[in-house]
Amino acid sequence: MEWTRLENESEEHLLMRLVAQKEQIGTWDDIARIMNELTGNSYGESRYRKNYSSFQKMYDANLDTLTDFGNYSESVAEQRRELEKARIQYRDERNAWNKQNYIEARVSQKLDYLEDAIKEIGRIQFSGGSMTSYKNDETDLLVILSDMHIGQTFDSAFGKYNSDIAKDRLNQYLDSIFKIRERHKSKNVYLSIQGDLLSGSIHKSIAITNRENVIEQIKLAVEYISSFVFELSNQFENVYIANTSGNHSRLDRKDDALHDERFDDLIGWMVDKLTCHKPNINFIKNNLDIGISIMNIRGKEYCGVHGDYDSFSKSGVSNLCMMLGHIPYAVTFGHLHTCTVDNIQGVKAIRGGCFSGVGDAYTIEKRLKGSPSQMVCVCSEKGLECFYPVELA
């Protein structure tokens, strides 16, 4: 067999390759002959044999070290792979974080723009009006605005309702408020918005009876209530507004809805932005919860709830007082669609009505009867002087 030397192969590597094939080559003399031919040396077999023996001893003596080094190298390689994976993960998370921050910044910017735009629209739509003034300031009015259910539509033998009727009844309500104000010469008005301003779409049976979708319901509710507040501001020295949310304004059905996500809250925010340029319109922003408002009228505390969590009963009022940690002078309600005033355990319980009245499938099936109505109370330092359940045609 003809043996050749590989390109750039050292003498040591050549010797190791030939020794590895010694059985084919023959003796050490044969290996020495081939080595001399390929390298140009003239060494005897002893020289090559001793060189190989020295290398073999060194290799055997360091075999454990070489093995450990191999394992160490594998460990280092594995750690490098983990480090690279962590670096890639960090980069992806950083990119996702930056993207989220960018999105949030854009959303915040758009909300700021929306807020400014709403304020500007308010200055245009509600920019005038002369305010009536009375010298007698012994009383204020508490006006409850509850259960408008904007979007709900029905027409039956027992009643009729739609968004146009809601607007007409809101104007009727204003006329009644102004008459009560003139009768009592009341100075300020406290508007307690008690929830369920729109019909919503929390049940399929409700969604299919709505004339307007939820977005349109919100737009109409904001328009109607903003105009209502503006008209109040022209007849009273100050308008104070508290807003609570009802069950119909949930974004989803009860089991899936988040507690603080209510369209009533959005409507209140938009009404505030539309009317805040008028100095005598003041939103009270000390709500204990999205569904619990607090108003102080001539030294008396009036706590506002919708009524879906707080029943109009002894147990409902007691549970609410226990949660508050004190006893308010009065609790105002909506939800049950009928006006009434009661004294429950020394707490005045005041409930507003609704704008829709009866005539929908629910009230027919439950055999419910009643007129659309809202509640106005005359308040002094002594508390509730008198109240007016205002029926609407």
Give the amino acid at 242: A
Predicted pLDDT of residue 72: 57
Contacts of 169 (CB under 8 A, 6+ apart): 355, 372, 392, 393
Output DSSP code: residue 210.
B
Predicted pLDDT of residue 137: 82
- Among candidates 192, 173, 171, 239, which has minimal Cα distance to 334? 192
172 and 392 Cβ atoms separated by less than 8 Å: yes
- Alpha-carbon distance of 177 to 188, in angstroms, equals 12
- Alpha-carbon distance of 347 to 326, in angstroms, equals 11
- Average pLDDT across each block of 10 residues of the chain; the chain has 393 residues. List them in order: 86 89 89 91 90 82 62 71 83 80 67 70 64 74 97 95 96 97 95 92 56 86 96 96 91 76 93 94 94 97 97 97 97 97 97 96 93 98 97 96
Residue identified by tokens 């009524």 is 307
**SS3 (DSSP) at 319:** helix
242 and 293 Cβ atoms separated by less than 8 Å: yes
Give kind and range of the element (H or E) at residue 361: helix 361-365
**SS3 (DSSP) at 120:** helix
- Alpha-carbon distance of 239 to 100, in angstroms, equals 40
- Alpha-carbon distance of 158 to 123, in angstroms, equals 41
Predicted pLDDT of residue 223: 94
Note the residue count of the chain: 393
